[in-house]
């Protein structure tokens, strides 16, 4: 599936994020739609101006912007989108994310027998509508409300 309109898609995904100020939410949609449009590129390379880059980093550093609020907006959008489909498949995957660099946080657990390797397990559940052959969104594992 190719996203033909990243901004509209992302506005559905994160346009309802509760970040304490509507300008932050607009900045989030702008940033994430730009990253979706330029998948695999950094913030700097996917931005169209230095002002966009600075705005993105200000958003990321803002203590009022929590990863949980951003994730919640996406999970809520997935729940709404799932309601339109009579049949869904929940495709699950667990991925190991290793942070072996010396600056890796001690808050991360060991993911291998090597005590220097730090990381985490990321468990994803992709909701898929087989009738339309489209991914619907990511679900939050273990949340009975989703």
Average pLDDT, the chain: 87
How is the chain split into domains, by residue range?
6-68, 86-139
Contact 14, 74 (CB under 8 A): yes
Helix (H, G, I), strand (E, B) or coil at 138: strand
Give the Cα separation of 2 and 87 in Å (integer). Answer: 22
List the pLDDT tens digit at each of the 146 positions of the chain.
455 688 888 889 999 999 999 999 999 999 999 999 998 999 999 999 999 999 999 999 999 999 999 999 999 999 999 999 999 999 999 998 887 666 666 677 777 787 777 788 888 899 999 999 889 998 877 665 55
H/E segment holding residue 32: helix 22-37
Rounded Cα gap, residues 64 and 66, in angstroms: 6
Task: Tell me the pairing of strands 109-110 and 134-139.
Answer: unpaired
Structural fold of domain 6-68: Serum Albumin; Chain A, Domain 1 (1.10.246)
The SS3 assignment for 129 reads strand
pTM: predicted TM-score of the whole model, two decimal places? 0.75
Q: Distance between CA 141 and CA 96 in Å, rounded? A: 16
Per DSSP, the chain holds a count of helices (H) and strands (E) of: 5, 4
* Whole-number pLDDT of residue 24: 96
Helix (H) or strand (E) holding 90: strand 89-99
CB-CB neighbours of 25 under 10 Å = 22
Q: What is the pLDDT of residue 103?
A: 64
Residue 19 to residue 72: CA distance in whole angstroms: 11
Residues 87 and 131 sit within 8 Å (Cβ to Cβ):
yes
């Amino acid at each position: 599936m190719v996203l033909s309109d990243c901004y509209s898609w992302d506005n559905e995904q994160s346009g309802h994020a509760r970040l304490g100020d509507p300008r932050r939410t607009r900045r989030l949609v702008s940033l994430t739609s730009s990253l979706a449009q330029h998948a695999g590129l950094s913030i700097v390379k996917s931005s169209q101006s230095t002002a966009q880059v600075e705005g993105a980093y200000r958003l990321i550093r803002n203590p009022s912007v929590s990863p949980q609020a951003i994730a919640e907006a996406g999970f809520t959008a997935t729940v709404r989108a799932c309601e339109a489909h009579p049949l869904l498949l929940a495709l699950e995957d667990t991925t190991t994310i290793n942070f072996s660099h010396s600056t890796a946080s001690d808050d991360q657990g060991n993911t291998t027998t090597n005590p220097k390797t730090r990381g985490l397990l990321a468990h994803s559940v992709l909701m898929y509508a087989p009738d339309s052959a489209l991914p619907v969104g990511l679900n939050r594992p273990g949340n009975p409300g989703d």
